[in-house]
Amino acid sequence: MTASRWIPLENNPEVLNSWAYKAGLVSSDSGFSDIYGFDDELLGMVPRPVKAVLLLFPISSAFEERRKEEDQKIIDEGSLNDKGVVLWIKQTISNACGTIGLLHALLNADVSLDPDSPLAKFAKECKDKTPEERAKFLETTPLFASIHAEAASTGQSVVPTDLDTDLHFCCFVEVSVDGTSHLVELDGRRAGPVDRGVCEDLLIDTIKFVKDTYVAKSASIHFSMTSLGPPEF
């Protein structure tokens, strides 16, 4: 990790939309909304169509073991990043997983961006760069550091003095792979994008995967999810 360290973001729509709209997401087109639970009634409240899902989860020893195994498979066999069908960024800034998750969501989803915005400029600069080069550009560009700090200060919690945290963001998007829709997990701490298989409904398939793979194997209650879709205005 670089010496650079940011304030952790909260996974709530107020914070995420503050970041996204300052960075260039067109507010009349899309926004982030809470996913309050896994049952059908609560999922029915999520604005559709869902274009990306952000998950905030507690890092555990069991998760780290699974991550190492999957990362080694990615290193050995390659990933969707090599096919150029998804834009993935390696995380090198401590506590920047919220911004990395937002970038993964907004740059891989079908959303409208202000063409002169930081998001549009970042996408243009990073299009032909490697994930490591994208990470270095994020470290050195002023495009997002101040936006991240402003968004972090709009949350419901007091800004922590101890910036160490075991909570981490990842993003789920739907990607076309050889003409078939796949559920893809994007996490800057990984060795690359993780293909989670054929996707028929982004929200439902993500919920099932998170329940089976994250929640069911953890004793923690510190999970939260938000969706990117039509704005709730």
Overall number of domains in the chain: 1
Catalytic site includes residue 168 = yes
Helix/strand number for the chain, H first, E second: 9, 6
**6 located within any domain:** no
**3 located within any domain:** no
pLDDT digits (tens, 9 = 90+) for 103-155: 999 999 999 999 999 999 999 999 899 999 999 999 898 889 889 888 888 76
Catalytic site includes residue 148 = no
Name the active-site residue from 104, 168, 170, 171.
Answer: 168
**5 located within any domain:** no
pLDDT digits (tens, 9 = 90+) for 176-231: 999 999 999 999 999 999 999 999 999 999 999 999 999 988 877 789 999 999 99
**2 located within any domain:** no
**144 located within any domain:** yes
The Cα–Cα gap between 209 and 73 comes to: 19
Name the active-site residue from 97, 170, 171, 199.
Answer: 97
**60 located within any domain:** yes
Which long-range contacts (C-beta less than 8 Å, at least 24 apart) are formed by 118-126? 118/22, 118/23, 118/24, 118/143, 118/144, 118/147, 119/23, 119/24, 119/25, 120/24, 123/87, 126/87, 126/89
**7 located within any domain:** no
Per the CB < 8 A criterion, the answer to whether 74 and 83 are in contact is no
Per the CB < 8 A criterion, the answer to whether 79 and 191 are in contact is yes
CATH number at residue 178: 3.40.532.10
Range of the domain at 223: 13-229
